[in-house]
Structure 1
Amino acid sequence: MTDSNVETEDAPKKASKLPLIIGLVLALVGGGGGFFAVYSGMLFGSEPASTASAETVETSKDALPDVGYVALAPFIVSLTSDGPASLLRFAAQLEVPHEHLDEVERVKPRIIDVLNGYLRALSAEDIESPDALVKLRAQMLRRVQIVTGSERVSDLLVMEFVLS
């Protein structure tokens, strides 16, 4: 009996990697199938993706959004730096849903005050980079939406932006 015990202790069995490989393959197939089901709209979709996109194209061609524009009077702002450009002339218009035009028109002085304060804090170096207008526009729109409410102003259109 002692001889048989010696043989089993010397040769331990090596664990098989087959269950690990099968589990990994099944996880990849399941993940890919789940992604496809959600992406194609089979899961969590109220209607087929092709019908929804066709209706969106039809409505976007026929009707423009019902918006109006509130013009902000042009104003000149002195910049904080002592560089060659020390003045900024700025004019903008606000894109507003038609039902909120009167409300936004009433708070126009507060909007101009907020924009004036923000633009005065800038230096010429902040404005001179090529992508500065995009960043400044986003910052100004966010400040205007805080004053008016986010659903009242949908966009800020820069009409004049001149450094002198």
Structure 2
Amino acid sequence: MTDTALPEPPPKRSKLPLILGLVLALVLGGVGFYATRAGLVPGLGSAEPEGEKAPSPLPDIAFVAFDPLVVSLGPGARSRHLRFTAQLEVTRKTEAEVRLLIPRIVDVLNSYLRAVSPADLENPAALVRLRAQMLRRVQIVTGEGRVRDILVTEFVLN
């Protein structure tokens, strides 16, 4: 008979380099976390503020609110009414002037919201475009530079 000797399997590799690499990665990760957290790495800051910093002063703004608007929607709409409330962001020196123009502002917003299609009102993504359109109309009524922004506080379809 022939002598068939099976080749010897290659020796198993040592797992020592893998274990050492894992331990070294954990140690270096911990040291890096500690150095960052303690503020030892420049430019990344520390967990505790270095000193009491005074907050920057608020901008010279005021908010002018007006009564909620209830707009009836057309017969093709799934909802019957829109309840809309907003506040106008103005500078303090123009606040009285804008308050004087509230009836005109309400009229413009009421007319605009009545003219918008019900599908646009029901689309949640259209609110950004609606805000921009309303802000532009309010700025035309009040004059440039008086109204900085319109903040929609309520927009409910029922």
Report the TM-score range of the alignment, normalised by the length of the smaller protein: 0.5 to 0.7
* TM-score normalized with structure 1 length: 0.61
Quick one: which of 91, 115, 139 aligns to 2:109? 115
Quick one: which of 95, 103, 106 aligns to 1:101? 95
Return 96-105 or 72-81, whichever deviates more: 72-81
Residues 121 and 81 of structure 1: CA distance in aligned 2, closer, same or farther (over 3 Å):
farther
DSSP-derived class of the 1:62 partner: coil
**CA radius of gyration, larger in:** 2
Quick one: which of 110, 121, 126 aligns to 2:120? 126
Letter of the structure 1 residue corresponding to residue 132 of structure 2: A
Corresponding residue number in structure 1 for 2:78: 84
Identity rate, percent: 58
2:152 is the counterpart of 1:151: no
Q: Distance in 1 between matches of 2:116 and 2:74?
A: 6
In the TM superposition, residue 81 of structure 1 has moved relative to its aligned partner by 4.5
1:33-54 CA-to-partner distances (Å, cap 9, x unmatched) read: xxxxxxxxxxxxxxxxxxxxxx
Q: For the Cα contact (< 8 Å) 1:80–1:86, is it kept in 2?
A: yes
In the TM superposition, residue 136 of structure 1 has moved relative to its aligned partner by 0.3
In the TM superposition, residue 80 of structure 1 has moved relative to its aligned partner by 2.7
Indicate the RMSD between aligned Cα atoms, in angstroms. Answer: 1.1
Structure 1 segments of 4+ aligned residues over 6 angstroms from their partners: none
Structure 1 residues without counterparts, runs of 5 or longer: 1-60
Q: For the Cα contact (< 8 Å) 1:81–1:124, is it kept in 2?
A: no
Letter of the structure 1 residue corresponding to residue 150 of structure 2: L
Aligned residues between the structures: 104
Corresponding residue number in structure 2 for 1:4: none
Q: Distance in 2 between matches of 1:64 and 1:147?
A: 27
Letter of the structure 1 residue corresponding to residue 58 of structure 2: L
Q: For the Cα contact (< 8 Å) 1:96–1:153, is it kept in 2?
A: yes
2:131 is the counterpart of 1:137: yes
Q: For the Cα contact (< 8 Å) 1:79–1:121, is it kept in 2?
A: no
DSSP-derived class of the 1:68 partner: strand
Q: Distance in 1 between matches of 2:145 and 2:77?
A: 39
Q: Distance in 2 between matches of 1:106 and 1:83?
A: 34
Residues 80 and 122 of structure 1: CA distance in aligned 2, closer, same or farther (over 3 Å):
farther
Corresponding residue number in structure 2 for 1:70: 64
